[in-house]
């Protein structure tokens, strides 16, 4: 901005970047803000590491238990529709697809075999 001839002048904080003292003050304040930001990041990371060391896990609790995931996998293998399962388990359809994708070989193979047996 200085190369373009633009200066900053604060009426409330008496900062004027057109003077050497004003530029110095502006740089010092910027450096202090940068240092404070880095300290916040450092303290946050230290707090997260301490929590992990105590066995705490961040984030929200999973919506489904391991047993429910296994039930859903069995139901998909038996030919149940993923949309119906999302409604039954009160989860989003994207959650079903995330844990049980369409390309899941075991689930799709079993579904195909089930459909073939029903058609006989």
pLDDT in the model for residue 55: 92
Q: pLDDT for 43-95, tens place per residue?
A: 999 999 999 999 998 888 888 999 999 999 999 988 888 999 999 999 999 99
43: its two tokens = 């303290």
Of residues 12 and 67, which shows the higher confidence score?
67
Q: pLDDT for 86-106, tens place per residue?
A: 999 999 999 999 888 887 645
Contact status, residue 33 vs residue 42, Cβ threshold 8 Å: no
59: its two tokens = 């984030």
Nearest-10 Cα torsion for 63, 88, 116, 104: -20
Give the Cα separation of 57 and 51 in Å (integer): 8
Break the chain into its structural domains and give their ranges: 9-53, 66-119
* C-alpha 114 chain-centroid distance: 37
Contact status, residue 72 vs residue 99, Cβ threshold 8 Å: yes
Q: Three-state SS for 90?
A: coil
115: its two tokens = 């459909």
Please state which CATH number belongs to domain 66-119.
1.10.10
Give the Cα separation of 111 and 85 in Å (integer): 15
Predicted TM-score of the model (pTM) = 0.48
């Amino acid at each position: 901005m200085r190369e373009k001839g633009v200066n900053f002048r604060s009426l409330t904080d008496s900062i004027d970047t057109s003077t050497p003292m004003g530029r110095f003050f502006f740089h010092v304040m910027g450096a202090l803000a940068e240092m404070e930001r880095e300290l916040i990041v450092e303290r946050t990371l230290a707090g997260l590491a301490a929590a992990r060391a105590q066995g705490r896990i961040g984030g929200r609790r999973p919506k489904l238990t391991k047993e429910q995931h296994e039930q859903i996998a069995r139901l998909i293998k038996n030919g149940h529709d993923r949309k119906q399962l999302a409604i039954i388990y009160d989860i989003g359809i994207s959650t079903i697809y995330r844990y049980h994708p369409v390309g899941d070989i075991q689930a799709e193979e079993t579904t195909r075999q089930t459909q073939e047996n029903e058609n006989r």
